[in-house]
Structure 1
Amino acid sequence: MIEKIRLYAKSVCNLFKMVVAYFLSNFVKSKYKNMWLIAERGYDAHDNGLVLYRYLKNNYPHINVKYVIDRNNKDSMEIDDNDIIEYKSFKHYLAYVSSIVLISTHIYGFSPNIELSLFLDRKNVKIYRGKKIFLQHGIIKDNIVGLHYPNITLDVFCCGALKEFNFIKENFGFPNDVVQYTGLARYDNLVRNIDEENFILIMPTWRKWLNNCAIDEFKETEYFKKYHSLLKNMNGKQKIIFCLHPEFIKFRDTFLDLKNNNLEIASYDDYSIPFLIKNCKFLITDYSSVFFDVTYMNKNTIFYQFDRNRFQSEHYSKGYLDYNDFGFVCSTEEEILKNVRYCENNINNFNFEFFKRNYFTYEFGNCDRIVKLIFKKLGIEEERQ
């Protein structure tokens, strides 16, 4: 009961700050005039948001672009100091309600309070002025009901692949002209450097049904046992980076008993995703859409799908994708180890032309397409300086 009262009081406080910011924004227009506000999760900068920010700074220096980030996050070094809006500060509230463009890689990542913004949107209470641009942080392959309209409302829903675009446009229920095939911003910077590829990247996604586990409970799960065993039995001469999903970083210590010079237990805070993608020899994942980036760079992927039925019933339901088109689909550790030996000595064994025809028909110019769409939504002419 006390916890419910505390959460209710916090929600009322956040709503009060948002309402105050909305009214004050009428008197602080000079600083926040025509602002384009960019965010990822709200506290970081290493994905499509950062790439688009740099593109705007280089090509449209006259645009008043700001970036939401926690100054204590090392990623803040990537942002000009004058462009930083401190995450969840009152300036963040002012920027959120005042900006003419709100851009994020995660749903409502530009908001100082995501849950409150979603709640107000669903009640048709619009307390912001800006066009909402969803850059995404990967390519959607599953039927994610939470991203359907009207569960969320957007002005632009950027898609990174042609098949993804067709699937979302047909199944997610958005009005015409919201879902757009632009390509992902970060793909403009994905350039393969074979000389630097010196480690195997293992990057599984998370599981909704495990998210509230205590540490001791997690160590008894199939997920932990499967990956702990795999890491133990792969732990040889080849360098391995095992990178946990942000939702599972709290379980990092459960794998540290395996750590040595050839095995690193990492998180998204330790490396940027583009660095890991560019420099890995090949990828082992389960269902994470990061394999699209690896395929885009014409590298091999091995899928470890020991719990596919449960994942598709309790996490995300099946979408349009056949994983066999993209890599080696395995359900046992023995299959994984067999395909690891193959991938250590062979380049991508899959038809890259198939991917270019069906997924990646755009190779470059993604940031340019996104910015032109934003100008179109604003109803103003593009102007470079």
Structure 2
Amino acid sequence: MVMLFYRMGIIRFNIIGKSVDLNMEETNTNCTVKHQISSFERIKGRWYFTLNVKSENELIIKDVILKKRKEDRIFSVNFFILKDSQFKMKLSFEYNPSYLGDESDYWDFYLEVSVSGKKKRVRIGNPSYFVIKKINYRLHSSYFYGDSLIYPYITVKNRLSICIRHKTIYDNKVHLLKEKLAFIIYNMFKFYWDKKHIKLIYEKFSNTAQDNSYYLFKFCYGNHFKENIFYVINKHSNDARFLDEFKDRTLDFLSLKHLIYLLACDYFISSESKAHSYIWKEQRGLIKKDIGRKKHVFLQHGVLGLKKVDTVFKKGSPNGTNLFNVSAVHEINILKEHLKYKENEIILSGLPRWDYLVNKAKRHKQILILPTWRDYLDGVNSEDFKKSVFFTSYEKLINSEELHDFVAKNNLTIKFCIHPRMLKYLKNFSSSSEHIKVIQYGKEPINKMMMDSSLLVTDFSSVAWDMFIQKKPIIFFHFREENNPDSYIDLDRELIGDRCFSGKEVVQLLKFYANNNFKEKYQYVQRRSQYFGYLDRHNSLRVYKGIKSHEKQLKKPNFLSKLIQSDFIQGMKNKFDI
């Protein structure tokens, strides 16, 4: 058994009676370590992998570890040397999935080696064809733990990782049979399906109809009906009612028809990444593989600037796109410089939902508080969430006596709503004031709340731009966090609203704007024309024309391209690489 101790970035392993210190940072060396995962088995709930490793220099295997993605947390994994020579080794490592618990997250496998006395951490990957097939067979590799599903998968970069996610109603044999049936039907009549030139459009988790995808679809349905564009939404969603008049072009999420159309469509159009077109955080299966090959048009659900998204939407990444829609000139520079997109992969058009924005604030006396989500809070338990600076800052704000007195005196309503990725933590928020309402995301459309509100309080959310284009004041609440998001713009000099760092400052600014009839400050009025490429109601038309003019580069991959990306070719390539 490998014993693990962690302190100050140094890991100490007791391996076969010897104590070894390894610095956790990967050492940059010129040593080449090649390896391949040659077998995978699941036996009595445990996973067993066999790894062939070779090097041109003297090789010593130090350890096999699991590292939590984006964090320094690691676990040591039991491993056994099967064959040992100076330059080649064969080892087996096993893992019990229940050790990781049930917090949603990703974990990555690493091999720690010493090559000619130099320490190196190698990301484990390069599976054989049969390993790829077994891991992709969901019934074989899945492990259920409470309400969570834990499984190994092969990443886009051909590496071995573990995903922990919540179980869904689709994690069963019936759904897997439905996927196989869809695959058979599509391939039997492939010529017919491909001739239809289907495009699929959807939003967050294929569960909403209130963002740019919905308004572009609405525009296309009314003006370009011949286009085979279908809107995908869960029929049990609160927003499904908004599609009642478009039923002939609406698909129920993960129905048999939707699965066939997923395989048949030319490309995707969405305000989210391709991952939202399928089971959230599911990385395996034939349909998921096909989704990964297809092209994508990213409408965005905001404007780039307030929060860096290099690691999320960079070109070539799992969430990258093929055609990026923007609203502001500065976004083009961000995409080219930071996210590595080319000029012909960008459309300057504006957001479709802006075509439908109407300022209704005079009918309502309302303020909207809408913070964005935090990477570092993804998947944490409720108790840890309540200890976060994020929670304590907003909980303190909406329970401030000064704020309660202010809204009561001015007969104002405050609506507090958090990002859907933090929805499970909403129950932790409450306010004793009858004027402050905690709103569940999806119960009321975000764009309606923005139209009804006179002012927005946010942190780094791109909904700020919707208020800005409506000529409404914005307060940016940037309390101190260890993990404050980086920004593309200078937050001290280029913001489109006031910046403050405490709840007390927020309340003082709210009083200022209430006393001035919620009128924007002149310094922010001047910035509107500097930021936006267009200030009209023709955004949907520009998006539609932009997509049509780029359709050649959105074509489905041909047979040769699919063959090169196939599991068989990839498995064979991994074999010859070693």
Which category describes the TM-score, using the shorter chain as reference length? 0.7 to 0.9
Partner SS for 1:351: helix
Conserved 8 A contact 2:202-2:231: yes
Partner SS for 1:158: strand
Distance 2:316 2:459 in 1: 30
Alpha-carbon shift at residue 263 of structure 1 (Å): 1.1
Q: Deviations over 1:71-103 (max 9, x none)?
A: 001211111223221212332222122112311
Match of 2:260 among 90, 94, 111: 94
1:356 aligns with 2:529: yes
| Residue in 1 that maps onto 2:358 | 191
Distance 1:302 1:25 in 2: 51
Partner SS for 2:442: coil
User: Which segments of 5 or more consecutive residues in structure 1 lack a partner in the other structure?
Assistant: 381-385
Match of 1:345 among 512, 515, 518: 515
Match of 1:49 among 195, 213, 229: 213
Larger strand share, 1 or 2: 2
| Residue in 1 that maps onto 2:488 | 319
Q: Deviations over 1:132-191 (max 9, x none)?
A: 211111112233122111114433110122212221122211244112211111111122
Distance 1:176 1:18 in 2: 38
Paired letter, 2:363: E
| Residue in 1 that maps onto 2:426 | 252
Distance 2:252 2:191 in 1: 19
1:295 aligns with 2:460: no
1:84 aligns with 2:250: yes
Change (3 A) 1:23 1:158: farther
| Residue in 1 that maps onto 2:314 | 148
Distance 1:119 1:177 in 2: 32
Aligned counterparts, 1:234-245, within 5 A: 234-235=403-404, 236-237=407-408, 238-245=412-419
Change (3 A) 1:153 1:318: closer
Change (3 A) 1:75 1:289: same
Q: Deviations over 1:24-60 (max 9, x none)?
A: 3241665671222110021211111110111011101
Change (3 A) 1:128 1:46: same
Aligned counterparts, 1:72-221, within 5 A: 72-79=236-243, 80-109=246-275, 111-113=277-279, 115=281, 131-141=295-305, 142-144=307-309, 145-151=311-317, 152-221=319-388
Alpha-carbon shift at residue 260 of structure 1 (Å): 4.5
Conserved 8 A contact 1:93-1:112: no
Distance 1:20 1:283 in 2: 48
Q: Deviations over 1:319-345 (max 9, x none)?
A: 135365311111112211111101112
Conserved 8 A contact 1:101-1:131: yes
Q: Say which is worse superposed, 293-302 or 184-193, in terms of deviation.
A: 184-193
Q: Say which is worse superposed, 86-95 or 24-33, in terms of deviation.
A: 24-33
Change (3 A) 1:127 1:330: closer
Change (3 A) 1:102 1:185: same
Change (3 A) 1:162 1:117: farther
Distance 1:279 1:336 in 2: 20
Structure 1 runs of 4+ with >3 Å offset: 2-5, 7-24, 28-32, 113-122, 125-131
| Residue in 1 that maps onto 2:501 | 331
Q: Say which is worse superposed, 20-29 or 206-215, in terms of deviation.
A: 20-29
TM-score by length of 1: 0.86
Change (3 A) 1:146 1:185: same
Partner SS for 1:284: strand
Larger helix share, 1 or 2: 1
Higher RCO structure, 1 or 2 (CA under 8 Å, sep 6+): 1
Conserved 8 A contact 1:111-1:117: no
Name the Cα RMSD after superposition: 3.1
Conserved 8 A contact 2:366-2:415: yes
1:307 aligns with 2:480: yes
